[in-house]
Structure 1
Amino acid sequence: MSFFERKLKNRKEKFKQKASPQNSRSRRAEYNIKISHSKREMVLMKRRNITTTNNSKNEIYIPPLEKLPKLVDVIKNSEDTDKIEECTKMIRTMLSVEVDPPIDQIIETGVVPYFVEFLKDTNNIFLQFESAWILSNICTGSTDQTSYVVNLDVIPIFISLLDSDNNDVIEQSVWALGNISGDSLTFRDKILSYPNSFNKILSIFHLKEINESILNNTTWVVSSLCRGVPFAPYHKVKKALKYFANLCKETTTELLINACWGLSYLSSGNSQQIDDLISTKCLPRVVELIGHKSPDVIIPALRTIGNVVTGDSKQTQTALDCDLLVPLKKLFTHKREQIQKEACWVLSNITAGTRDQIRTIIQGGFIPVLYNLISETKIYTIQKESIWALSNAVWGGYDEDIIRLVESGICEVFDPWLQRRKEYSILKISLEAYAKILSVGQKISEEEGQEHNIYAYKLERLGVFEHIEKLSNYENQNIKQLVEYLLNTYFYNLQTKVEENENNSIDQDENNDSDYEF
């Protein structure tokens, strides 16, 4: 195995393959779009159930905070069920406002444990529902506020209420579980630790009278239980795949957003998880969704596809066979920068595939698009992913394709990145790209019987070797060795030949006693 074959094998393994089911792809962390910190996904974590009315003549009365002690006193001390129900409802309306609900003030009254007890009263659906709504909205607050509720041992109660005969109670209970799960991975795992909890939540999809609201909330909750790094234990949440796959066929934007996020979470593991996703036959629909009008649908759909193409070459080809490249190409000019970054990530993983897959990208006209992104965008992460995509194409491509890339100006593209001494990874892949280009140039020169490496001569004229030479004292040993290899193998050899030719020309000029005009 040659030097370049060994390097290519090692590089592809590091670039595309998954280290273990517990870890994300090797470059997902470097790419800096972390699942647990995505702005969009932060929005998905918790939802307050707001009290609204469409009838201006029937405005909902929200009591002032001054009345809270009296309301609490009735709940704690009265034996009148009607009054307790009315006061509970008023406290619920106080919590169901969009801005600054009085969560701490209500907790401080000591009334919250009463609402937990009301959840257990199977003879009073109204109190169950109102109490579930109150507790769910408290859990939209801070971690301390959510922890207070969780420590009252409400999780198993909410899980049991999923068997209720009342759909409103079911919906509010699953909503509460979603807000608890969205607070932290600890609470997510706590919910999943209860026997059969996830299956009970999935069973909501089978309700005979399921409406759009329950469907939306359940999809959001199931997605929430799958999200986060480290990932939820796959064996516990795997069954959600088929539900997300079916929900992708829907047309409502909210359902599509949550279903696609769910698919992206469940495919962010090992190769088997990618195969499981592919087996649902939802991939063509997910590819279709990257052309959706809503960026909030495009992003999770694109991330799901990105997960697939980080798999092996067969899995990558499955995505390509879904006519991926046509809608993907349009995303490079999308107004949303995050979508451009995700599109570059997807492309960089495809160019880490087989030679035929790289050729498909080149023939698809993506190279000029990448050149344009590097030269015109000011977003570093977009430039960086574009450089990765190009470097992968050089390393893994057929010699004929590398020749085309050189003719298209790829040698000039990597040069500015050699001057970014602090960017180790970009320095390395730029130098490796030049190494592969020079190896192809050496083959061409030997086949054509030329004295010098035509690409070495080209890089010399472009000033690339000068920039490479300045890295001779680079602090990283890998970079230093690569620079030494390039200089010794190509540059110094070229320099010697050029000097010999110049000396021969001078001797000939002196012998012929003639001037040579440049």
Structure 2
Amino acid sequence: MSFFEKKLKNRKQKFKQKASPKNSRSRRAEYTVKISKSKRELNLMKRRNITITNNSNNSQNEIYIPPLEELPKLVNGIKNSKDIDKIEECTQMIRRMLSIEGDPPIDEIIKTDVIPYFVEFLKDSNNIFLQFESAWILSNICTGSSEQTTYVVNLDVIPIFLELLDSESLDVIEQSIWALGNISGDKLEFRDKILSYPKSFKKILDVYHNKNLNQSILKNTTWAVSSMCRGMPFPDYEKVKNAYKYFGYLCKETTTDLIVDACWGLSYLSSGNSEQIDDLIATECLPRLVELLGHSSPRVLIPAIRAVGNVVTGNYQQTQSALECDLLERLQPLFSHKRDQIKKEACWVLSNITAGTTEQIEKVLQSGFIPIIYNLIEETKIYVIQKEAIWTLSNAVWGGSIQVVINLVESGICKAFVPWLQRKKENSILKISLESYAKILSVGEKIAENEGLQNNLYAQKLEKLGVFEYIENLANHESNIIKQLVEYILKNYFDKFQNQVNENENNSTNQDENGNTDYEF
């Protein structure tokens, strides 16, 4: 048995195996890395607390924000004044300077060396006002660049903020959790630094148990906890997995911001191995996540799709759990969504379902998805959408029964891979296109054998589409894998097909009344 024959025989088993989470998810690892590094997602990781201002010049409620020219005077008031009222006032004014839309003067304030004073103010439990204002200042500085955040972290503020989660002031608790969220969102090193403190994550989760917890703190806590579960490499799962029950509960809320952050959290936690997917399913929130695929806001849709998508990258039983929540019914409208990102992620989910069992693939076909995928490939110009759509079809070919392949061929699947044979630089898609044709041709051989046919009818179809010619043009491809695929197909199917055609030409004596030969394939 040749190298490629062995490869063909084992391809399906290696794609999605019940007992091997590593194998079952390896094909989609590249996609998971890419979405974890999404610019839009990273932008969600830091939040500045903005001072609400009234722009009316006649309003008595207008909040005064000092100009940058006043900064030296304010810093002097903090460093040199003995009057606590003066210190409080100057601290509040600097906080307002940092709490504006646009480009706050973070670097200018850092250069005054006043930041260590705010760190000291955090430790003064007798002055809640200064604690609150200082926490707000430090939190907003941590919305800046990584260098600015690092400056704050190097002042050893993390354990102080963790201690402040026990404060009697809800405002101090909120600003502390806000600061920890911003620090965690800056880089994975800081995320892991926060989690390295004993029982730090438990202390953060304990905020949820506060009897007086209001909606604002609830939202900020959910966002911060979600931030601490994000990133690749993943955080220590044993340290963060208890967040599941809170995310599972909060995704059932009606407030959009809460749903968004809870869904992001669920998507992060389930991006690991099969055990982590089982833990998501155990929260009993999977039906809610599937339901959220019908939400009107893309802010909800994207993390909900990713969380559900993680489930179907798992083993067959985990995929089935999602299908039993009417996933296919909820998924179908997303293929006509106005946002390309939604279409792409819907394809990603479907491609993992067609990597499942024959029964799961048949369910996809019965739900009418194949014509939708064909239309998507033809109509969209977005490469990543086309790529996921092609994976969907390829997985269906490879995982489906003979009857599934027959149905796919009858529906026109042979045309879908043709354009990709002409894109010689797209090795991954070129490879699965060739593999799909090899599987289709092998089914054609079985049909011919079972029905006593002289010709492989699927080889005939591919010949009419010019597929063999395109494949021949790949014979000298730079990739050894592609060359082996080409050699296998040409040797086992094209040469045999040509021999059959030549034999028919030589043996045929059937002519019409005009003397034309009637070839039978």
Counterparts of 1:494 and 1:173 in 2: how far apart (Å)? 72
Task: Indicate how the Cα distance of structure 1 residues 446 and 517 shifts in structure 2: closer, same or farther if over 3 A, else same.
Answer: closer
The one-letter code sitting in structure 1 at the alignment partner of 2:42 is: M
Q: Give how far 1:504 is off.
A: 2.2
Change (3 A) 1:275 1:124: same
Does structure 2 conserve the Cα–Cα contact (< 8 Å) formed by 1:8 and 1:395?
no
Retained in 1: the 8 A contact 2:354–2:392? yes
Q: Are positions 1:297 and 2:313 aligned together?
A: no
Alignment partner, residue 515 of structure 2: 515
Counterpart of 1:38?
38
**1:231-270 alignment runs, 5 A limit:** 231-270=234-273
Match of 1:394 in 2: 397
- What is aligned with 1:486? 489
The answer on 1:109 being equivalent to 2:107 is no
In structure 2, C-alpha distance between the alignment counterparts of 1:495 and 1:41, rounded to whole Å: 53
Q: Is the 8 A contact 2:21 2:315 kept in 1?
A: no
For 1:257, the aligned partner's letter is: V
- Please give the residue correspondences for 1:25-424 in structure 2 after superposition, counting only pairs within 5 Å: 25-31=25-31, 34-53=34-53, 56-424=59-427
Query: Is the 2:123–2:160 contact (alpha carbons within 8 Å) kept by the matching residues of 1?
Result: yes
Counterpart amino acid of 1:442?
Answer: E
How far the C-alpha of 1:27 sits from its partner, in A, is: 3.5
Question: What amino acid maps onto 1:441 in structure 2?
Answer: G
Matches within 5 A, 1:436-475: 436-475=439-478
For residues 17-61 of structure 1, the C-alpha deviation after alignment (integer angstroms, 9 at most, x for no partner) is 89878x994244533762442133122111111111469431011
- 2-structure distance, mates of 1:339, 1:147: 35
Corresponding residue of 1:431 = 434
Q: Is the 8 A contact 2:88 2:130 kept in 1?
A: yes
Other-structure match for 2:11: 10
Q: Distance in 2 between matches of 1:33 and 1:151?
A: 29
Is the partner of 2:44 in helix, strand or coil?
helix
Stretch deviating more after TM superposition (484-493 or 157-166): 484-493
Per-residue deviation at 1:513? 12
Over 3 Å counting, the alpha-carbon distance change for 1:28 and 1:504 in structure 2 is: closer
1:201-226: CA deviation from partner (whole Å, max 9, x where unpaired) = 11111111111100000000000000
CA distance in 2, matches of 1:166, 1:151: 26
1:472 counterpart SS class: coil
Deviation of 1:271 after TM superposition, in Å, equals 0.5
TM-score, structure 1 as length reference: 0.95
Question: 1:281-330: per-residue Cα shift (whole Å, max 9, x none)?
Answer: 10000000111010010000000111100001010000000000111011
What is the CA-CA distance between 1:516 and the residue it aligns to? 2.1
Q: 1:442 to 1:244 in 2, by over 3 A?
A: same
Give the unaligned 5+ runs of structure 2. none
Q: Is the partner of 2:508 in helix, strand or coil?
A: helix
Unaligned runs of 5+ in 1: none
Counterpart of 2:433, as a letter, is S
**Aligned-partner SS, 1:373:** helix
Secondary structure of the equivalent of 2:60? helix
**Contact 1:18-1:271 within 8 A present in 2 as well:** no
1:136-169 CA distances to partner (integer Å, 9 max, x unpaired)?
1111111111111111111100000000011000
Alpha-carbon separation, structure 1, partners of 2:179 and 2:121: 15
Q: Secondary structure of the equivalent of 1:58? A: coil
Do the aligned residues in 1 keep the contact of 2:12 with 2:399 (CA within 8 Å)? Answer: no
Q: Distance in 2 between matches of 1:344 and 1:193?
A: 38
CA distance in 2, matches of 1:367, 1:16: 24
Amino acid aligned to 1:465: F
Q: Does the CA contact (< 8 Å) of 1:412 and 1:462 recur in 2? A: yes
Structure 1 residue 505: Cα displacement: 3.0
SS across alignment from 1:90: helix
Residue 170 of structure 1, CA deviation: 0.3
- Looking at structure 2, the residues matched to 17 and 104 of structure 1 have their Cα atoms a distance apart, in angstroms, of 53
Q: Which amino acid aligns with 2:196?
A: S
Shift in alpha-carbon separation, 1:305–1:122, aligned structure 2, 3 A: same
**Alpha-carbon separation, structure 2, partners of 1:277 and 1:356:** 24
How far, CA to CA, are the matches of 1:181 and 1:477 in structure 2? 44
Contact 1:18 1:26 in 2 (8 A): no
The alpha-carbon distance between structure 1 residues 335 and 85, as it changes in their structure 2 partners (threshold 3 A), is: same
Distance 2:369 2:218 in 1: 40
**For residues 282 and 135 of structure 1, what CA distance do their matches in structure 2 show?**
36
TM-score, structure 2 length as denominator?
Answer: 0.94
Tell me if the contact between 1:456 and 1:490 (Cα under 8 Å) persists in the aligned partners.
yes
String of CA shifts for 1:311-369, please: whole Å, max 9, x gaps. Answer: 01010000000000111011001111111110000000000000000000000000000
In 2, distance between residues paired with 1:173 and 1:414?
Answer: 54
- 2-side partners of 1:203 and 1:286: how far apart? 25
Moved more, 51-60 or 265-274: 51-60
Letter in 2 for 1:358: I
TM superposition shift of 1:11: 4.1
Distance 2:276 2:515 in 1: 73
Would you say the 8 A contact 1:48–1:140 is kept in 2? yes
Q: Deviations over 1:426-476 (max 9, x none)?
A: 111111111111111111111221111111122112211111111122222
Q: Secondary structure at the match of 2:26?
A: coil
Q: CA deviation at 1:515?
A: 2.2
